[in-house]
Chain A
Amino acid sequence: MPENDNFETGLFFLTGGDFDRAGEASSELRKVLLSKDISLDIIRRASIAAFEAEINVIVYATAGMLRFTLDDKCLHVVVEDMGPGIEDINLAMQEGYSTASEEVRAMGWGAGMGLPNMKKNADEFLLLSDVGIGTTVELVFYLKPKRIKTL
């Protein structure tokens, strides 16, 4: 076990179509972050990005999970699902592009802003997808300013 105050991990199962519980996983994550010595700006960005990733599982997939690991240096959130996968990742990353159903749009989701919102809020954003198998989103948030060495 690493010796630091921030160390924590968590795992939440997500069910496709369960809009009533949408946001519970990222809300729990937010509560964990609020209990730690982490800047509010990072907590806000992490909560928004995790929420968008969670919503995508509920909108598109059969099931999925959200896992996080927190240590002194960073928060690492992985959201993976058993879903349809993304045909064209470049297209999916365009703001305004969405394949959500009319029903989902009527709920206020499916505006084509979820993936761009994740990218905008995370310090590192990785999207892996296999059509017919599923999608994995990895989000990393640095808890301390990162020193960048220019070569």
Chain B
Amino acid sequence: MKLNDIVSALELKVITGGGAMEQEITGAYVSDLLSDVLGNSQKGQLWITLQTHINIVAVAVMKEIPGIVFIGGRLPDKQIINKAESEGIVLLASPLANFELTGRLYQLLNQSGELPQ
């Protein structure tokens, strides 16, 4: 599913990376532990987190994660936004809590047949 369609269906706020909305998203990984994401996320998955520490961008680059979604209305600071911009990582935000946002995204991807059955 295209990132664009996910952003509009879930009413995500685009913080940076508006030019990279045509990317295919195959799933998501939900975690606030950076080594967990380094170890277990898959390429092409969105990363859902409340973690707003600067190192998230480096983790996303290493794991070829196209975008990070901040939940619960959390927003990254300018330093993170600048780094994400220079590395080509899309930053998104939702006011929803983790459970609700993840549930909606799962439903969306499942309905579009993206998820392995």
Pairwise interchain contact B34-A109, C-beta atoms closer than 8 A? yes
Does B61 make an interface contact (CB < 8 A)? yes
Pairwise interchain contact A48-B58, C-beta atoms closer than 8 A? no
State the Cβ distance, B111 to closest chain A Cβ, in Å.
30
The A interface, classified by DSSP as helix, strand, loop or mixed, is helix
Interface size on B, residues (CB 8 A): 20
A100 to B34, CA, bound (A): 14
0/1 interface trace, chain A 1-27, chain B, CB 8 Å (1 if under) = 000000000000000000110111011
State the Cβ distance, B47 to closest chain A Cβ, in Å.
11
A109 to B58, CA, bound (A): 13
Does A113 make an interface contact (CB < 8 A)? yes
Pairwise interchain contact B58-A113, C-beta atoms closer than 8 A? no
A16 to B61, CA, bound (A): 22
Pairwise interchain contact B62-A108, C-beta atoms closer than 8 A? no
- B interface residues, Cβ below 8 angstroms from A: 32-36, 38-39, 43, 51, 53-56, 58-59, 61-64, 79
Can you offer 17 A-B residue contacts whose CB atoms are under 8 A? A19-B53, A19-B55, A20-B79, A22-B54, A23-B58, A27-B61, A27-B62, A44-B64, A107-B34, A107-B51, A107-B53, A109-B33, A109-B34, A109-B35, A111-B33, A111-B35, A117-B39
